[in-house]
Chain A
Amino acid sequence: MSTATQPHQATPSDETSVQRTRPKVSLKSTIVYALAALVTLLAWVLDTPADARTTFQFGSSGDLFRIPNVPVPALGFLVVLLVVMLAATAFSFWRYRERRPLPAWVHVVVGASFVLAFLTFVGAGRSTVIPMVSLLAGALALSVPLVFGAMSGVICERSGIINIAIEGQLLFGAFAGAVAASAAGSGYVGLIAAPIAGGLVGAGLAWFAVTFRVNQIIVGVVLNTLIIGLTGFLFSTVLSDNKALWNTRMPLPRIRIPLLADIPVIGPVLFNQTILVYLMYALVIGLQIMLFRSRWGLRTRAVGEHPKAADTVGIKVNVRRVWNTILGGAIAGLGGAFFTVGSGLAFGREMSAGQGYIALAAMILGKWNPWGAVMAALLFGFSKNLGNVLSTIGSGVPSELLLMLPYVITILAVAGFVGRVRPPAAEGVPYTKS
């Protein structure tokens, strides 16, 4: 290695007392950035006519004061973005040579530039505008169940239970939410039934994983199949026999928060939502604090990292795991309500459509932290929505390929392109005393 000449980082006074360290750095980020810049140059910059313009729309109908559409010269803007990406590439290479880690904001800058470059290219020379507000609002809407699911994953996995059953919890939550809301005639009743249903699935997972020590991945996968079958069965029998009673649309009203909702662009996106979305904000913030700053969080993490250590200080490992799994299930169930009452839809067969698995991926991508998981969920929501929006605008890129994007990103992410992650040490391992 070329680092042999590097001076040791150890304190000069006493060489023997400190273990030397030589940080290992990698060129991964640099390579990814360079690829992004290359794609921008070859596929987009060279393919954009010099006089084309792209129009970004930042306003929405309900705004207090209208924001005009912003037309930008496409080629010029693309070149600016390209320069930003190249600068980031150079910066990351310099950090590599200096053997220093790269700050996280660089990833964000490169990612945002890349997305903007793509949008600019797509909108170049077209009469249609790029609707930024609906792009973001749609992204948030698609992220909501993902965020709930990912929070469920964080709680379960932090306490040592792998929750593959998020999918089933979402679906059962959606089902129970719709049925209860329809029967009671109020969307809010759905918000009570959904977490109970999700909690039941969580309880099932905990029961098999803790009591019978069945492999947690197996239980999760099988529970998902069970819920798909069960909800599908009831949908085609009971629900369709009497649709008016059991499966009528029962939307939650939107609650507009004064002032905050008037902030341009993000105001209408974030603060004109149903109570379910506001619950999500509270959940994320609350979980982030509770997990790292409360007795519950400390014990939960101890149980997930080193259950025996927790046991020796009198913490009931399995009891805590069971309750946390039920809690996680309830949270995912609540998130499932977004598919039905949260979006004003009736229940449909398999309507969670694999979002639970994406939520799981978001949690891993977010390194088992609530905040990181939210970011990852938003990323998935955004790229999915981008695919939807662009296929309606008609971008020339097949929508299937765009819709694949979140999944490709996830694969790259778990393959370590976003840095090594460390799951809770005792994840998936049943705890027994002897």
Chain B
Amino acid sequence: MTEEKRPDAGEEQSVAATPPGETGEGQGPTLREQERPSVLYQIMSGSALMSVLAVVLALLIGGLLIAFANEDTREASTYFFARPLDTLAAGWTAMTDAYVAMFRGSVFDWQAGSFAGMVKPLTESMVFAVPLILAGLGIAVGFRAGLFNIGAQGQIIVGAIVAAWLGFAFDLPVVIHLLVAILGGLIGGAVWGGIPGVLKARFGANEVIVTIMLNYIAVYLISYMLKLPSFNPGRTGQRSPAVSPDATYPLLVPQWLWPDNGFRLHWGFVVAILATVFVWWLMERSTVGFQIRAVGANPAAARTAGMSVGRITVITMVVAGALAGLAATGQVLGTERSLTAGVAASFGFDAITVALLGRSRPWGTFFAGLLFGALKAGGFLMQSLTATPIDIVLVVQSLIVLFIAAPPLVRTVFRLPDPDRRRRPRRTASTTQEATA
């Protein structure tokens, strides 16, 4: 009999271990702020500061790695005991060179010839941010429902296949063609996301495993598709025909407005903003979001209150997939303008870290996406200027997320006070009894 309850108990546990975004803060205004001692204290212990410190710490460690891997540094280190300053100087130079290049590649390049050239890096960061934000939003929605959707990668790929196909194989009127292609990408991602949703709702299949498997299937699917005659005019199996100009996102800063700006930034960025607003409304103000949050926080109670956990699981995964599909349109209809085997790059996986850094909240995810987009854009210039491989960006990204997930660690490093110690008591009388009894 206890036996029978077990699957539910498992369900419970998976949710008890909710993603960091779900740890109690957020849902609407609370009066808890008033209980806090002071504004300064609040800033000192708040999550915004923690995020900044986590980024700083991760960049520092990344810098050490850059310094260590630098050839000059290592050369200098051979006579470290004779002249230790040489090693430190070489390391410092390697690190600052890399980060300066990264800044110039992602925010503002003061060495560029024109003003447009100087601002271009910022727009590049926004270009990279589009798929990160959109896919990150999808993963964040999943987190709120207690679902670990590792499958954004596959959802992006399938969305990209559909969007690209609709984009190059058909000839439709101007605006309609773009909308059809966007819708197609959205549906493609939604279907690929819906599969694990249905399998979880219907058969209790673990979504982590299913989404990982679907990623691989999608990778083989795209390489199979790219060999099909209609996708493969160049017989290389690498690149599909270009998407029709009618079906591409227009540039956000058109040439007639600012001649020769050279920006690649397209309307996909506006789509990302709209999607962020939509997700905020969905999660905080709609009945669907209410159910998603309830199912994520406690599926048993949601079920007892008459919600269909299975239906919400499917809806959540479909929404998550649709957002990943939108991310794909940013790539095939905006940045790349055709389907390539590497169209999804590692956006699907990076999006997980984006959602985690954004604490599963829409605007948090938006800004986290911008940050990681900047790291990516800057990483490319850094790689070409200083021969520092762009892999360092992955290292920095994952370190940021690890530090964000473990605030005590960052607090220890920076010797900050523990906010929990002075806030509300952990338990009231009767719940202690229940917990310990």
Contact = CB atoms under 8 A, between A and B. Distances in A.
Interface residues of A, number: 52
Contacts of B203: 415-416
Interface of B, secondary structure class, is helix
B356 A218 contact: yes
A219 interface: yes
Given A229-B396, A407-B214, 13 more contacts: A211-B406, A214-B20, A215-B18, A217-B17, A222-B352, A222-B356, A225-B353, A230-B391, A361-B209, A404-B217, A411-B205, A411-B213, A434-B435
A400 interface: yes
B17 A416 contact: no
A356 B150 CA distance: 14
A400 B223 contact: yes
Contacts of B397: 225, 229
A297 to B, nearest CB: 22
Interface of B: 6, 9-10, 13-14, 16-20, 65, 69-71, 74, 148, 150, 199, 202-206, 208-210, 212-214, 216-217, 220-221, 223-224, 227, 349, 352-353, 356, 388-389, 391-399, 401-402, 405-406, 408-409, 435-436
Contacts of A360: 209, 212
Contacts of B205: 411, 414-416
A240 B352 CA distance: 30
Interface of A: 164, 208, 211-212, 214-219, 221-223, 225-226, 228-230, 232-238, 241, 354, 357, 360-361, 364, 398, 400-401, 403-404, 407-408, 410-411, 414-416, 422-423, 425-430, 434
A184 to B, nearest CB: 19
6 contacts: A214-B402, A221-B150, A357-B213, A360-B209, A361-B213, A407-B213
Nearest to B10: A423
Nearest to B350: A225
Contacts of A416: 203-205
Contact of A410 (B69, B213, B223, B349): B213
B399 A226 contact: yes
Contacts of B408: 212
Contact of B224 (A236, A354, A398): A398
Contacts of B148: 217
Contacts of B389: 232-233, 236-237
A35 to B, nearest CB: 17
Nearest to A168: B398
Nearest to A234: B69
Contacts of B398: 222-223, 225-226, 229
A393 B220 CA distance: 19
Contact of B392 (A222, A233, A428): A233
Contacts of B223: 400
A217 B223 CA distance: 29
